[in-house]
Amino acid sequence: MSALAKLLSHPAIWRGDRLSSVSTPSLPTGFPALDAELPGGGWPAAALTEILPQHEGIGELRILGPALASLAARGRWLAWIAPPYLPYAPALQAAGIDLARLLVVRTRSPRETLWAAEQALRSNSCGAVLAWPEKIAWPELRRLQLAAAGTQALAFLFRPPRAAGEASPAALRLALDTCEGDLAVRILKRRGAVLGQPIRLHPAPVVNRNRTGFHHAVDFALFPALPARIIPAGISAL
């Protein structure tokens, strides 16, 4: 290593083209390509993270799967506040998330959503707080960011793609889109230099193309003693 490189690797020196090497507490995302571009090498704890998916169903939850599973496995609580649809228990379990640590909170108004999210953060008892606010303004974002800063929880806020143009106090902002079937993560904001290129990830695939074992669940009214049977595809069920 040259003398200059040695000097520049001193922790007190920060270069504009690099991620800040300040050790922010964080949790690996489970995607090494993403970890490499995040300050601290993972989802930042004690800070607000915004996720802005272009469409629903492109992997906006699957990208959180590994982190949520590891938090739940360590006995930390996961609070889902005002989710847009029903978090589906069998799929969550299949993703390795311990459902005993899951809390779903339904709200009736945007105000209640923000209140519940703030309470969940301030209580300092959750490993991760996920919230889907319908609308949120700067002062409320600031409140949540402050509430998040006082805990060790991961705080995820899901917002529509049009929010990308608005300023936000969140420490990390990710825009998600698809690119040739992959999930393309564009880092809108992070603590450190701007990253131009989107990161391409392959979150847990929905369909395993190598596997053909699809199943039918058919019950036969003729055999009431057997209310439901599993018959592999390929065998004519009826």
Partner 1 sequence: MSLATACVLAPVLNHRQRDPAAEAAALGQIAAWAVQFTPAVSLQPPRGLLLEVEGSLRLFGGIGRILDAVKRGVADMGFTVSVACAPTVSAAWLLARGGAERVFAGARAIRDAISPLPVRVLDCDAQALETLAAIGVRSLGDLLSLPRDGVARRFGQHVLDQLDRALGLLSEARMFFTAPPRFDAALELAAGVASAEVLLFPAKRLLTQLAGYLAARCAGVQRFRLALGHEDAPETTLEIGLATPSRDAGRLVILVRERLAATTLAAPVTQVRLQAGEILTLAGDTGSLFPDRMNDPGDWARLVERLSARLGQEAVHGLAPRAEHRPERAWQATAPGAGAGAGQAARSPRPLWLLERPRPLDEVDSKPHYHDGPLSLIAGPERIESGWWDEADVKRDYFIAQTPGHSMLWVYRERKQPGGWYLHGIFG
Shortest distance, CB of residue 16 to partner 1, whole angstroms? 35
Shortest distance, CB of residue 17 to partner 1, whole angstroms? 32
Q: Is 173 in the site for partner 1 (CB under 8 A)?
A: no
Which residues fall within 8 angstroms of residue 207, CB to CB, at 6 or more apart? none
The CA-CA-CA angle for residues 160, 90, 116, to 5°, reads 45
Q: Is 106 in the site for partner 1 (CB under 8 A)?
A: yes
Q: Is 104 in the site for partner 1 (CB under 8 A)?
A: yes
Shortest distance, CB of residue 177 to partner 1, whole angstroms? 9
Q: Is 21 buried (19+), middle (13-18) or exposed (0-12) by CB count in 10 A? A: middle
Closest C-alpha to 198, from 58, 65, 101: 58
| The two three-digit tokens of residue 125, written as one number | 């008892």
Q: Which of residues 128-167 bind partner 1 (CB under 8 A)?
A: 152
Q: Is 101 in the site for partner 1 (CB under 8 A)?
A: yes
Q: Which one, 9 or 124, has the nearer CB to partner 1?
A: 124
- Strand 182-189 to strand 154-158: parallel, antiparallel, or no bridges (unpaired)? unpaired
CA distance 121 to 54: 27
Q: Which one, 167 or 206, has the nearer CB to partner 1?
A: 206
Q: Which of residues 26-85 bind partner 1 (CB under 8 A)?
A: 54-62, 75, 77, 83-85
Structure letter (DSSP) for residue 88: -
Q: Write out the residues near partner 1 by the rule CB under 8 A.
A: 54-62, 75, 77, 83-95, 98-108, 112, 115-116, 119-120, 123-126, 152, 178, 181, 206-208, 213-219, 221, 224, 227-228, 230, 237
